[in-house]
Amino acid sequence: MHLATRQLRPDPYQPLARALPVAERVQGLILYRLRGDMRRLLARQGCVRVLDLGCGSGCLSCRLAGAGFQMVGLDASSAMVRRAKRKSHDFGLVQGDATGLPFGRCFDAVVLSLALHEMAPATRESVWSQMLRVLRPGGLLVFADFIAGSFTSSYARAVASLIDRDERQIGRIHRPHYENFRQFMNAGGLGAWLATRAATSVLERSYWGSNIGLIAVAPA
């Protein structure tokens, strides 16, 4: 689930390649309910052709393709794309830059899952513009990412601590990742970022003590 800026090489996430099989199993458990809700939302909205932006190793694309959606996954990381290619031939894969998408206006929905927080602020703005550019009229933008808040339960605080620790670990491999995560969270996380967009909320749900959010919007 990693997007980069226009410089695609060297791949800062190459050191994670060996850990991907384990990471995918853990993340699959953590995001199982969220991904199921996303699938049902896309089906309910009549979406057919879907772009998984920052598709990482292709787990979400694979699940949605298995549910009948025409999936295209794009990621900047060569390590992630290589791993995704080993999973399935049921969806298209592109190694590319999310700030300059090689597509026209051809998608019913664009999904961005757990990638927004790792981008620099200027990159987020560029990616938003690109998502709008490739979305068909009446289409849907779907985001899954971290939520910032004042947690009242020990469970929610424990989950927030685990997320921060995980992001910090990735930051040891690629320092901007953690720096961008902290900036994103200090600015209010996913909900606050989307609140500044010209878009109508279609669905909002939270998971894991309200630390992870699923928000779908229809651009104005």
pLDDT in tens, 105-142: 999 999 999 999 999 999 999 999 999 999 999 999 99
Structure-token match 């999973």, residue found: 87
pLDDT in tens, 155-170: 999 999 999 999 999 9
Rounded Cα distance, 163 and 49, in Å = 31
Paired tokens of 170: 């990735």
- 75 forms beta bridges with 95
pLDDT at residue 6 greater than cutoff 60 = no
pLDDT in tens, 47-105: 999 999 999 999 999 999 999 999 999 999 999 999 999 886 789 999 999 999 999 99
Q: Taking the model in full, what pTM does it have?
A: 0.93
Distances (CA, A) of 193 to 15, 46, 87: 30, 26, 33
Written as one letter, the residue type at 18 is R
- 92 forms beta bridges with 72
